[in-house]
Amino acid sequence: MNLFDKTQERLIRYAKINTRSDAFSPTTPSTTCQFDLLHLLVEELKEIGMQEVQLNPENAFVTATLPGNMDNAPSIGFIAHVDTADFNSENVQPNIIPDYDGKDIVLNEAEQIVMTVSDFPNLANYQGQTLITTDGTTLLGADDKAGIAEIMTAMEYLIAHPEIPHGKIRVAFGPDEEIGRGADKFDVEHFACDFAYTMDGGPVGELQYESFNAAGATIKIQGKNIHPGTAKGKMLSAIDIANQLLNLLPAEQVPEKTEGREGFIHVTSVNATVEEATIHLIIRDHDRQLFNAKKALVTHGVTQLNAKYPTQPVSIQMHDDYYNMAEVIEKDMRSVEIAKQAMKDLGIEPIIEPIRGGTDGSKISFMGLPTPNIFAGGENMHGRFEYVAVESMVKATEVIIKIVELATQ
């Protein structure tokens, strides 16, 4: 069985299916188009010989089982998401570049869209490999359809090679990870694993068990619009109050000025008129105390502004999204140690760094199932310059196979 051909074919086929999620939709999944891939995966899982294949209508997760072929081995899960990020995903046309020459890539000659090595120096790591890119007008969807392709191919390989020892393996493909809701309804008890992995990381070697703590906030400001000719002492500008609030936020604690374990407060949108304004922001930090301090700073800013005006025009709704999964995983590092050894056995140097974001594993870990994150191979996710090397997907597939084998020892 050729892992190279299988992973390449699957990614291209999955990528062509539009599965963009929608943060403003209240349904699960947030977009009905995600069902197109979910239903396809149900049929494909059955075709390759997986058992207990089902699509749960309550949470839109497809799950399946590969029964173990030996006793006293842990049950392991592998998870990926079907949705793609908030970028054009209509009519995705993947380009295949065999034996990449290490130079700039013309993604779309007609529209003069070029992915340059100067802008994306990581391209140099893939010289001589087979790249799958976009045509410059859409994202690719390797986040996380590469992860799906890797899990599917690994399961097909294990079924074809029953001599490889393994315990029970469970797989899950779910919706809406990109909008932070996918795992909210995940049924950990039904999944019934000792530990699991999300195949949702970036370049080869990534192994992540530390994520941000994350919160979101919506701030609304009620102004009072008066004809500007007679506004003195009467007008209350929501735009002005919004500016005041933004100026209270720490200028250095923003995504473009932070890295590593440094957290941030990120204003994602501002919609304002004199009459009313709405500010959306997200708060991130790996440290729970610093995370809480950032939330308190935003709330205090609202309190400060309300104290200036008799009408108290500013309101805030804040909610926690997920927490640092290290708080759970560090209590039992078995999943991390097995993955680390699997990579080393395959000649891959593990890159263990905190995620500057979160995965479904962040929420699932706090549901009681330790779920670190493993590389899926993609680069430049969520936009027109997204790409993945087929060789990277093959290595991720091999890591899955090696993990289930090592877990029996």
Bridging pattern class, strands 387-389 and 378-379: antiparallel
Cα 161 to its chain centre, rounded Å, is: 31
What is the 8-class DSSP label of residue 118? T
* 8 A C-beta contact, residue 401 and residue 66: no
State how far the Cα of 134 lies from the Cα of 149, in Å rounded to an integer: 17
Closest CA to 141 of 88, 191, 96: 88
Bridging pattern class, strands 195-201 and 76-81: parallel
Whether residue 177 lies in the annotated active site:
yes
Cα 374 to Cα 199, 203, 284: the distances in Å are 5, 9, 21
Closest CA to 148 of 59, 75, 81: 81
The amino acid at 300: H
Whether residue 109 lies in the annotated active site:
no
**Tokens of residue 121, six digits:** 């120096």
* 8 A C-beta contact, residue 373 and residue 355: yes
Q: Which is the catalytic residue, given 177, 178, 321, 379?
A: 177
State how far the Cα of 100 lies from the Cα of 133, in Å rounded to an integer: 11
Q: Which residues, other chains included, contact 96 with Cβ-Cβ below 8 Å and sequence gap of 6+?
A: 8, 12, 130, 131, 132
State how far the Cα of 383 lies from the Cα of 141, in Å rounded to an integer: 9
Count of other CB atoms within 10 angstroms of residue 308:
11
Q: What residues pair up with 389 in beta bridges, in sequence order?
A: 131
Closest CA to 1 of 398, 406, 402: 398
Token pair 């065999």 in the structure block, residue: 98
Q: Which is the catalytic residue, given 44, 83, 144, 150?
A: 83
Alpha-carbon Rg for the chain, nearest whole angstrom, is 23
Taken as a whole, the chain contains a residue count of 409
Catalytic residue numbers? 83, 177
